[in-house]
Amino acid sequence: MTKRISAAALLAAAGCAWAAPAAAWGPIGHRITAQIAEDNVSGRTMAHVRAILGTEDLAEGATWPDEQRSNPAPFWQKEASPWHYVTVPAGADPADFPHPPEGDGITALRTYTAVLRDPAAGQEEKARALRFVVHIVGDLHQPLHAGAGSDRGGNDVKVLWFDAPQNLHWVWDEGLIERQQLSYSEYAARLERRMTPQQVIAWWNTDPATWIAESVALRDRIYPQPGQVRGQGTQEDPFVLSWQYSYDWTPPEEERLQQAGIRIAAYLDWVFAGL
Non-local (6+) Cβ contacts of 89 within 8 A are: 97, 148, 149
pLDDT per residue over 57-116, tens digit each? 999 999 999 999 899 999 998 899 999 999 999 999 999 999 999 999 999 999 999 999
pLDDT at 5: 41
pLDDT at 23: 57
Pairing of strands 146-147, 164-167: unpaired
pLDDT at 69: 87
pLDDT at 61: 97
CA end-to-end span of the chain:
68
Q: pTM (2 decimals)?
A: 0.91
pLDDT at 274: 84
Q: Give Cα separations from 242 to 5, 53, 271 (angstroms).
A: 15, 40, 41
Q: Domain 22-221+230-272 belongs to what topology?
A: P1 Nuclease (1.10.575)
Indicate if the alpha-carbon torsion angle 214, 103, 105, 175 is positive or negative: negative
pLDDT at 32: 98
Identify the segments of the chain with pLDDT beneath 50.
1-22
pLDDT at 8: 43
